[in-house]
Each structure stands twice: as structure tokens, then as C-alpha cells.
Structure 1
Amino acid sequence: MNRGLAQDLSGKLTDLYVDSHETSSRPDAYCRPSRRHFLNRLTADIRRPGFAMVIAETDCLAGCAFGFPVRSDGFWSTGLDGALPRGVARLAAVGGVFAITDILVPPHPQDAHVARRLQERLLADRRTSLGATLVDRADHPTLTTLRSWGWLDVGAFCRPTSSTLLRVLVLPVGEPTALRPTGLAHDAWTRRPG
């Protein structure tokens, strides 16, 4: 989807956001969705260079995933606890990292399958080497799901405007290249939080 279509669907996307959070099994902090907060964040993301979105539809909007490409001086330049791993920094410097800022799927028996397919399609369409996302460290269901899909934990992150501690997760995409580090699962900088 392009920016115009995403803006046209902002009302339906906001409804999807609320639906995907109100009935989820996430901790209480995630069960109080804010329409205004989501819409503001969506609007800001739509304006970012390279914004992209994929949607899943049946007879209605069944899910979406969206994000934008990041560089080493943007998405995580402030707030990362420690240095950005060298391989990730190198990929970000050449535009090889795409941040997935949200995956929205209403809870139902196939939600994880749909969510994973949306994530895969979004990253494949961008021809990126590495996906990146931020997840609240208290959101154990999301962290567990992403890790089961192959996402690797590279550290802690705290936005300057929030006290919420987030985990930075990355997902190697496609075949290894000279720019994409190989064996990420075995690098010292990939770890599970204690």
C-alpha cells in the first residue's frame, strides 16, 4: 500500500488496532488501546520516507503490518543501552534495515499465522537484509512469539520521552550477503534478556 491508501484506511486501521488489543491475552497495560495514540503514531509513520504497509483482507480488513527503512542515525540513535552491534550498524548505514512498527491482527485461531505472513511479505517486498522492531519488555507474549519466528534480541532501548524499557529485536532476512552478518544467533551481541 502507498501512503495515500494508508491514510484513506486510517479509520479502519485504528479500529483494527483497537480490536487487536482489546480482546488479546496480553497484560493489562496492553489491553487499554488508545485510538488517538495509535492514529498519531500511524500518521507520523506514514510521513516517514520509505513508509510501507501490507494488508490482509477477507470480507473485511483481517490484518496489516507497516514500517519504514531506518539508518544508523535515526530509529535508535538515542536510547539504546550500549552500542548498536557492528553488523546491524553497518546494515543500517547502507539502508539494509527495515523497522516494523506494528503488526495488527485481531485475535483468532489463525492470528499468529496471518501476522507472520504479513511480516514476511513486508520485509520481502522491501528487499531488506534485516528487520527491526521494538517491544515493551513486559509484553512477554509478543516477545515469545517473535523469538519463535527467529527474531533475535540485541539489547534494551528507552525512548527519551518515555520511561518504558523496550527490547530491540532484529530478524535476518534472505540469504547471507557481504553486508549481512552470518550466524547472528551465535554472535555475542544476540542474547535473551535475563
Structure 2
Amino acid sequence: MINIVLFGPPGSGKGTQAQNLIEKFNLKQISTGDLFRFNMKNDTELGKLAKYYIDKGELVPDQVTIDMLVDELKKPTDTNGFIFDGFPRTSYQTEVLDQIVKEQLNSEISVCLSLIVEDEILVQRLVKRGETSGRVDDSEESIIRHRIEEYYTKTAEVAELYKQQGKYVEINGVGEISEISEKLFAEVEKIK
């Protein structure tokens, strides 16, 4: 089983690259952003709570995210593994994810792939996305910059944990989509 943590700040291309990894390796993506949007759209209690934090440009509290994640992993699937996108973002979440993957899937995290993109490029990408997506969190530059800052502040420790485990790989997230995909594919092939 292949279990990938896909890392990168907002606007780094995680969604696009996750789709390419899914097609190449028959994986299922669990995106906390998608889980939040689904729950918010359907006005669930977890969705209302997530919306409150997202609209302020803050990260959603751990337990809300964990509850959504466990529910999603319990659903039947015929894939070769999972891509975790947007989780973990703290050392605590990293430990919890390791435990959840072990208990729910009888497996472990294979690799953490981190897309690296300069901040100004991220802001440009997100402002452009906000013009067409209707997402509140992509419409204001100050909120975008706050999200990027929050990402770095809260995820540095996660990268360090995966580095200590020898499972952390950085990939340049700027360039042709296909070239970035090939770099990601090569890293996944090493663990198959």
C-alpha cells in the first residue's frame, strides 16, 4: 500500500498533482479542503465549525479534521493507497495520522512529498484562482498571505518529523505540470 502525505502551501499545485498521482498509481485522495467544503456545502455541524475558521484564514482545529478524516478512511475503496492532502499540519496531527493509518489500514505513511513554491508566486496563483472559484479564502490578498504564513508556522515541525524518519522529499513546484508530475512519480516509484 502506498500512503503519501502531499505537502505544500496554499496554491502550490497539490490538487493538480494529486490528480496525476491518483491516475498513475490508483490512489484515493483525502483532501481536508475537500472534506471541509463538502461538509460546509451540506451544512453539517462539522462544516459550520470548519467554515468559521476558514473564513478567518485560520487552520481548522485538530479534532474536527480528525473526525472527518477517520469517517473518510472507513469508506470502502479498491485503491492501492491514499494521498493525504492538507493533513497533517502539526506534530500532533502527524502522530495521530500514523496511528490512524496503522489502525484503519494496517499500514504506514510511505513518503511525504513537499511542493516548494515562492510566496509571491503562491499569492498570484491564489488571487487568480479566487477570481474564478468564488472561494472567500482566495479573494483577499491579506487573507491569502495570512494562510501562507500560518502554513509555514504550523507545518515546519511536520517536515522535520518526516525528515527524521527519512520520508521527506522536496520537489520544485514551479514549471510545467508534467515535469513536476514526473519528479513526483519518480519518488513514489522508489517506495513501491
Answer 1 or 2: which has greater strand percent: 1
TM-score between the two structures when normalised by the length of structure 2: 0.28
Q: Which structure shows the bigger proportion of residues in helix conformation? A: 2
Higher relative contact order (CA 8 A, sep 6+): 2
